[in-house]
Structure 1
């Protein structure tokens, strides 16, 4: 049976503009490059899986409105399987409003809407998808949906012995008792600091944070650095994957590219250090384009970038 990425979490209709100055610098800002896109963490990961040639199953909620077509249209065209996406009557599809200044460091306002509107039927659809997944499958999920749904899905994946890769956004929703059930976690520095209750501001503190997640029972922990690199703690040791020096045009969706490709690498049987290398390469390439899904690179480009980064990969716990 084919390998499958199950992607559970947020599905958004993105509205994105480029601005000359960051929001807050003046009362009214002129914007350009307006676009309407498919977005959301789960949607972005699912899209990446199709670029890498895998079966991709999206699990989540959209509203019973016209924005659902915007959120799902690009995924449908790419071949993502959408039977696990259910409609939430009386709720709008989630909307993400994104401004991208010259630095590329986007700012997002998210109206979570249908992402938070789950019922028993929708949960049953997720359980059924996990139960029907082939043995070679990985569940990748985020916390931009209710905590109870995340817990249910992780427990269902554990019953199937499927690896679970968690993007812990929003970190305040994560239930501490889930750590031993998670195969890999991919927070950024702010999320890691929130989850651990300790400052994470640079590579040494990120290395300590990654090791702390291991102590909580997570076999693989990647802390994404602001410069585009990451710190990985796994059974083989603690590794630093450096930034590649690509000028950021738009950071939208780069973190989702990281988590998605990390999960895809595990799906393909790659070791943790190789998965982190692939993930960092995917995130690097994502910031060079505009938007999330339109900027994502496929397998050939990601692996070529990973080879460029490989000479700088090093252990930091020797």
Structure 2
């Protein structure tokens, strides 16, 4: 394995053999959490019982940034991942599937003396997962790692889209946003967890974003608007757009979404699907939106593309394993297209 040590106990993880550094390629740079997931089915949601019986244990790669990076490569775009793993055996679990998929993981660093982030995911019969997330190395960014992050974004292609989440050290997430926007790169933020994104320094940077992808609960925290229906979701999306965010998408609990951009509000109605597992669906939305933006899609098509990936992913067990390829995705896009409504800002729309 090719590594380089630093004075602060960090080293670079092994580089993907399929990485590319062509300046003019459509590229998504994903910065955020990288996990080793332990996922299982349970016959009932966690509640008062001290012990639940589990089955179908899988140990995939996970984490918001890792999922975005995997999806980008799966859907045929240049994909780079920046984040932290520990110096334990779980790092291979987190990174090897990404390497095999062709994600460039050469910018992932190893935090010596720390464990790789772990997520324990329980999936009950309704598919609505419950997650216990231990951040571990995701939160370990020393001065050398931050300096490297700044350099790596500084060397990114001008056409790159930077997808960021806040399941890493706040200083790192804020630096990623600040550095990318100063270079004129488009940043897509998954604002989770809101305990980190609703306060300084990240909250101060929201006006610099190209796009943001909160779910309804996160949008409520960020805007103070309680989301009960399409109209309240539209007000929340409008409020985020009014702060300077070019494309503000609010993901709804039923799988639909509302987006605000230019002088329009876009409503994408959910279409019925058999929900198996919601793990990674939100990451799929953020990743697909980032891909579409990188490819120059207009906002309406970008949001539709993102909603289609999210819809498809809940029909399979797992996160990365549940994401669709290009041929699988197109029929879902067409199913959703009939439920798309674009209206002038402030006009009432009923599904």
TM tier relative to shorter chain: over 0.9
8 Å contact kept, 1:172–1:195:
no
Instruction: Name 2:332's counterpart in structure 1.
Output: 305
Verify: 1:141 aligned to 2:141, yes or no.
Answer: no
The whole-number CA distance in structure 2 between the counterparts of 1:117 and 1:176 is 21
Q: 5 Å matches for 1:201-216?
A: 201-216=228-243
Figure out how many residues of one structure are paired with residues of the other and give that number. Answer: 318
Instruction: Name 2:176's counterpart in structure 1.
Output: 153
Deviations 1:114-160 (A, max 9, x none): 11111122112222221222122100010111221112111211222
- 1:204 Cα offset (Å): 1.5
Of residues 166-175 and 94-103 in structure 1, the stretch that sits farther from structure 2 once superposed is 166-175
The whole-number CA distance in structure 2 between the counterparts of 1:119 and 1:299 is 39
The whole-number CA distance in structure 2 between the counterparts of 1:293 and 1:217 is 32
- 1:80 Cα offset (Å): 0.5
- 1:236 Cα offset (Å): 4.2
Q: 5 Å matches for 1:98-247?
A: 98-174=121-197, 175-247=202-274
8 Å contact kept, 2:225–2:235:
no
The whole-number CA distance in structure 1 between the counterparts of 2:320 and 2:32 is 16
Describe the SS at the equivalent of 2:60. strand
Q: 5 Å matches for 1:9-48?
A: 9-48=32-71
Instruction: Name 1:287's counterpart in structure 2.
Output: 314
The whole-number CA distance in structure 2 between the counterparts of 1:219 and 1:49 is 22
* TM-score w.r.t. length of structure 2: 0.88
In structure 2, stretches of 5+ residues that fail to align are: 1-23
Higher helix share: 1
Q: Select the structure of larger CA radius of gyration.
A: 2
In structure 1, stretches of 5+ residues that fail to align are: none
8 Å contact kept, 1:146–1:173:
no
- 1:259 Cα offset (Å): 0.3
8 Å contact kept, 2:33–2:165:
yes
CA RMSD across the alignment: 1.1
The whole-number CA distance in structure 2 between the counterparts of 1:137 and 1:302 is 23
The whole-number CA distance in structure 1 between the counterparts of 2:291 and 2:66 is 14
Instruction: Name 2:93's counterpart in structure 1.
Output: 70
Describe the SS at the equivalent of 2:293. helix
Choose which of 254, 269, 272 in structure 1 pairs with 2:296. 269
Of residues 292-301 and 20-29 in structure 1, the stretch that sits farther from structure 2 once superposed is 20-29
